[in-house]
Amino acid sequence: MEKILIPVEGMTCGGCTSSVEKALGARDGISTASASLEGANVEVEFDSAIIIQGQIEEAIRDAGFDVPG
């Protein structure tokens, strides 16, 4: 398992962090996702044999948020 911290733009409330966590939790290969409103990021623990960082970032964008860079 790998852990990464991904910056997320557009989260403004607790509902937003829940949406990000729910979107990531629905993806195969992601074991945990913990979004931080204060930090404007999400920490993701995942299996890189199943999902890669680009797919994780795509899931965040699909949930209506932005990943800078």
48, two tokens: 């890189």
Predicted local confidence at residue 62, as pLDDT? 96
pLDDT(69) > 90: no
pLDDT digits (tens, 9 = 90+) for 12-57: 999 999 999 999 999 999 999 999 999 999 999 999 999 999 999 9
pLDDT for position 57? 97
Q: State both tokens at 68.
A: 């800078």
Q: What pLDDT shows up at residue 68?
A: 93
Q: Is 3.30.70.100 the CATH classification of the domain at 2-62?
A: yes
Contact 45, 2 (CB under 8 A): yes
**What is the model's pLDDT at position 2?**
96
Supply the pTM of this predicted model: 0.92
Give 28-37's long-range contacts (Cβ < 8 A, gap of 24+): 30/56, 31/1, 35/8, 35/11, 37/11, 37/12, 37/13
